[in-house]
Each structure stands twice: as C-alpha cells, then as structure tokens.
Amino acid sequence: MDNSRRSFFKRGLGTVAAVSIAQLVTQRTAFAADLPHLDEANAQAVSLGYKADGATVDKAKFPRHEDAMTCTNCVLFVGAAGAEWGGCGLFAGQAVAAKGWCNAYAKKA
C-alpha cells in the first residue's frame, strides 16, 4: 500500500468526485410546475407587495412600479421562456407568476 501524500490526495479527490456525482444523480430537481403557486396573502408576499398580475399593483403604494416590470424580466426569476410560472430567489419552494411583480424587482441585464 502506497502511503504517499500524492496517493492520499488522489484517493481523497476520487472520493469527493464520486460523492458529488452520486448526489447529482439522485437529487430531484424541482420544476416550477411542481411548486405550489405563491399566495398573495403570504406574509412575505404582502410585505413585498407581490401581485400575481402586475397590472393590479397599487401605484400609489408602490410608485416605482412600471407596467413593463414583471417577474419574467426580473433577475430573481428562474423560469423557462414563455412559462406562466417560475421560481423566485426570494420565495423558495413556491412559484411566482411570470406576469407578477413585487417591490424587490431588479431588471435583468
């Protein structure tokens, strides 16, 4: 048995790689279709002024809102092009409406 530092690192890296690959293979990817839709009455949604339909945002309450601002073109939105719902970096485990809006909106570059 070779007890050199080189063989130690080879075995260690091999083990780390094997564990990483096993996790990737067995990990279940959550798709927006699998996620429950975010309820506008959710406490976090209320605090951020989330609306599933951006056209219904109270502009007096949220003066920075513009009609072109939707979840689809927000940097936090994670969804396929053309999808009606997608994930959001703020609302983990829940899908937001592509036409939605919240006060954390940040335009994609």
The predicted structure's pLDDT at residue 6:
81
Is the CB of residue 87 less than 8 Å from the CB of residue 79? Answer: yes
Domain boundaries, the chain: 30-97
> Rounded to whole angstroms, what are the CA distances from 67 to 26, 28, 58, 62, 104?
41, 36, 12, 12, 15
Indicate the pairing of strand 95-97 with strand 77-78: unpaired
The DSSP 8-state label assigned to residue 69 in this structure reads: -
- What are the two backbone dihedrals, phi and then psi, of residue 82, each rounded to the nearest 5 degrees? 85, -5
The predicted structure's pLDDT at residue 73:
94
The predicted structure's pLDDT at residue 16:
65
The predicted structure's pLDDT at residue 17:
64
pLDDT tens for the 109 residues of the chain, in order? 667 888 777 777 767 666 666 565 554 445 656 899 999 999 999 999 999 999 999 999 999 999 999 999 999 999 888 999 999 999 999 999 999 999 999 999 8
Q: Does the structural domain 30-97 have CATH classification 4.10.490.10? A: yes
